[in-house]
Amino acid sequence: MGWFNRLKLVNKILSPVLISAALTLTVGLYGLSVSKEMTANLTEVYTNNMLSLEYLANMRHALMAHARAELRLLTVRDPDDVQAVGGRSTYYWGEYERWSKKYLPLATSTEEKAILPQLADKLTSYQEVTERTRRLLKNSKYDEAAALS
């Protein structure tokens, strides 16, 4: 410790400042590396989880709006109203398909992959019932269409 006592006052003040600066630089560089890693992790969470949830929510909304429009077709008789409701139904089915195409590449877990074929089967039967209902409505068989839906 005698060497420190022999130093000039300037060197005694400068040495802790330089040590503090080096320590600050080291901690700062470590913080930057951790923040880059955290950014990468958050990006992964967003693209793998949050984006999937957003697409699923949009798919659900479009499918519910489509089903509501199809149900509404049972209550309207005016040709202009039927055409307007049919247009909404077609629009929302297109929205469902658009969001579905965005979601499918993100479905990576085994559970999601197992559920997707079940969803496809249920959508096929949903579309078949919807088409049968529309044919019955087109032929003015309103009671049969209501019983089918």
Is the per-residue pLDDT at 141 higher than 70? yes
For the chain, report the end-to-end CA distance as a whole number of angstroms: 92
pLDDT single digits (tens) 126-137: 999 999 988 888
* pLDDT confidence of residue 1: 64
* pLDDT confidence of residue 66: 96
- The alpha carbon of 125 is separated from its chain's Cα centroid by a whole number of angstroms, namely 25
Q: What percent of the chain has pLDDT over 90?
A: 52
pLDDT single digits (tens) 83-123: 999 999 999 999 999 999 999 888 878 888 899 999 999 99
Taking alpha carbons only, the member of 136, 117, 139, 119 closest to residue 70 is: 136
Query: What is the average per-residue pLDDT within 1-19?
Result: 80
- C-alpha–C-alpha distance, residues 129 and 65, integer Å: 16
* pLDDT confidence of residue 45: 83
C-alpha distance from residue 34 to each of 25, 37, 39, 44, 47 (Å): 14, 5, 9, 15, 20
